[in-house]
Chains A and B, each alone.
Chain A
Amino acid sequence: MQNNRMIEITVGIFVALGLAALLMLSMKVANLSQFTSRDGYALRAYFDNIGGLQVRSPVKMGGVTIGRVVSIGFDTKRFQAVVTMNIEPSYTEIPADTAANIYTAGLLGEQYVGLEAGGDEAYLQPGDEITITQSAMVLEKALQEFLYNKTTKSE
């Protein structure tokens, strides 16, 4: 009987351990804790070219991640890409004339939306659009322009 009880206890520990491992994988590795903070508010921005921006790419302000890209679509009326971002609820006071740029972390790193605060007294409201935007730098385009300038100068 004692033996049976020991077995039950060790099996209980085993199952708890397995579930704890699963919990650790979802919390610490997949970062469920941050993923669930879905409350917060949405902002929209239109870009001519989003480069390699992806859903779940970070939205940064001064280098600090304050939100994530929720969806990326294409507006067929404006012929521009529309990027919807979810900003964490603690950052509500973003000036209305904030500019959104798409930057690359490092030369080959992932791309993110960088917000640069303006000086407006009014704040962006949930669902608002960020009007001042700058597209992603496309390396091929930049190279092309550089080479074009080079050749025209040398003539």
Chain B
Amino acid sequence: MTNVLAALGRRSLVSLERLGRGSLFLLRVLASVPGLLRRPGLVVRQVWSTGVLSLLIIVISGAFVGLVLGLQGYNTLVTFGAEESLGLVVAKSLLRELGPVVAALLFAGRAGTALTAEIGFMKATEQLSAMEMMAVDPLRRIVAPRFLAAIIAMPLLAAIFTAVGVLGGWFCGVGLLGVDDGSFWSQMQAKVLLVEDVVNGVVIKGFVFGVVISWIAVFEGYDAVPTSEGVSAATTRTVVHSSLAVLGLDFVLTGLMFN
């Protein structure tokens, strides 16, 4: 009995300690972000590897999510004779929830894992220690550019995902199922609001998810046990933790924004 309690206590203490280390780490990374203004090239390179390389999966998934939304929405709406509202359904659900959330999940899987594995292997192969020996701060040179780049890339990817999704829904509804083109757009335009839906949904949610994912990814990499096993465990933790964080935060953000 005492053993069980001790195990429970140890686990909570370990998680609490990791959370504290993570927060301190975040503060240190944030402190080294302003120094990047003098070396934007580092960030650009990371935007390329986190953002541009994630583009393909984001565009293709966005198109398919839009197509499915169009198909399912049509099948439901047509029973009420309200298939003209398809554009509204597709746009609102993509802008508010599906766009930022699915893009963030894909981003965590595509770019977050890459960040963790890269930084983790740098640590395992003692490249980070070597940098410190040369008086180069690895936080500034390695971690901060990746952190910032992921934050820049995420809202842009969410916007691209949503736009492609709306076009996919349009293609499915108007192109394949014969919904009227004019009412598809006009119903959407009449009810979708700029600040409420576009800014709240895509921009703010995308930004928050970007911060959370890149924080978790760089911290797990930096904090990984420097062995191949440790890096693999850290990569797994990145996906699990950032997916859970995205979904949980999405509920909180939705509650704050749209109640």
Contact B160 A4 (CB under 8 A): no
Residues from chain B with Cβ under 8 Å of A17 in the complex: 55, 156, 160
| Inter-chain contact A35/B194, CB cutoff 8 Å | yes
- The secondary structure that dominates the B interface is helix
Chain A-chain B contacts (Cβ-Cβ < 8 Å), number: 80
With A and B bound together, what is the CA distance between A34 and B52 in angstroms? 33
Q: Which residue of A lies closest to B163 (CB)?
A: A21
Cβ–Cβ contact A18 & B198, under 8 A: no
Are B198 and A29 closer than 8 Å at their CB atoms? yes
- Which candidate, B5-13, B30-38, B111-119, B182-190, is the interface stretch facing chain A? B182-190
A38 at the interface (CB under 8 A from B): no
Contact-residue bracket for chain A: 20 to 34
- Contact, CB under 8 Å: B48 / A10: yes
Chain A nearest CB: distance from B30 CB in Å? 22
Q: Are A26 and B194 in contact (CB under 8 A)?
A: yes
CB atoms of A18 and B44 under 8 A apart: no
B44 touches A21 (CB 8 A): no
A147 contacts the other chain (CB 8 A): no
Q: Which residues of A contact B185 (CB under 8 A)?
A: 28
- Chain B residues 152-184 with CB under 8 Å of chain A are 152-153, 155-157, 159-160, 162-164, 166
Determine the distance from Cα of A22 to Cα of B202 in the docked complex, in whole angstroms. 8
Taking CB as reference atom, which chain A residue is nearest B54? A14
Question: A19 to B157, alpha carbons, bound, how many Å?
Answer: 10
> Complex formed: what's the CA distance from A44 to B193 in Å?
24
> A92 near B: Cβ within 8 Å?
no
How far, in Å, is A36 (CB) from chain B's closest CB? 10
A110 to chain B, nearest CB (A): 8
Cα distance A35–B193 in the bound complex, in angstroms:
9
Asked whether any CB of chain A lies closer than 8 Å to the CB of B203, the reply is yes
Q: Are A14 and B51 in contact (CB under 8 A)?
A: yes
Residues of A with C-beta under 8 A to B155: 18
Does A8 sit at the interface, judged by CB under 8 A? yes
Tell whether, in the assembled complex, residue A14 and residue B52 are in contact, meaning their CB atoms are under 8 Å apart: yes
CB contacts (< 8 Å) of A35 on chain B: these are 194
Q: Find the A residue at minimum CB distance from B87.
A: A29
Q: Which residues of A contact B48 (CB under 8 A)?
A: 7, 10-11, 14
Chain B residues with CB below 8 A from A15, complex form = 47, 152, 156
Measured CA separation A145–B47 after assembly (Å): 67
The minimal Cβ–Cβ distance linking A34 to chain B, given in whole angstroms, is 7
Which B residues are in CB contact (< 8 Å) with A8? 44
A25-B159 CB under 8 A given contacts A32-B194, A35-B194: yes
Once A14-B55, A25-B166 are accepted as A-B contacts, the answer to whether A30 and B197 lie under 8 Å apart by CB is yes
Q: Are B159 and A29 in contact (CB under 8 A)?
A: no
- Assess whether B44 is in contact with A7, with CB atoms less than 8 Å apart: yes
Q: Does A31 contact B (CB under 8 A)?
A: yes
Which residues in A have their C-beta under 8 angstroms from that of B20?
none
- Write out the residue numbers on chain B whose beta carbons fall within 8 Å of the beta carbon of A56: 190
Q: Report which of A7, A11, A22, A34 forms a contact with B189, defined as CB distance below 8 A.
A: A34
Is A67 an interface position by the 8 A CB rule? no
**A11/B51 contact (C-beta < 8 A), A4-B41, A30-B193 known:** yes
User: Which B residues lie at the A interface, using CB under 8 A?
Assistant: 41, 44-45, 47-48, 51-52, 55, 91, 95, 152-153, 155-157, 159-160, 162-164, 166, 185, 188-190, 192-194, 197-198, 202-203
Q: A21-B162, A30-B193 are in contact. List 5 more A-B contacts (CB 8 A).
A: A14-B156, A18-B156, A21-B160, A25-B202, A29-B166
Q: Give the 3 A-B CB pairs with smallest separation, nearest first.
A: A18-B156, A31-B189, A21-B163
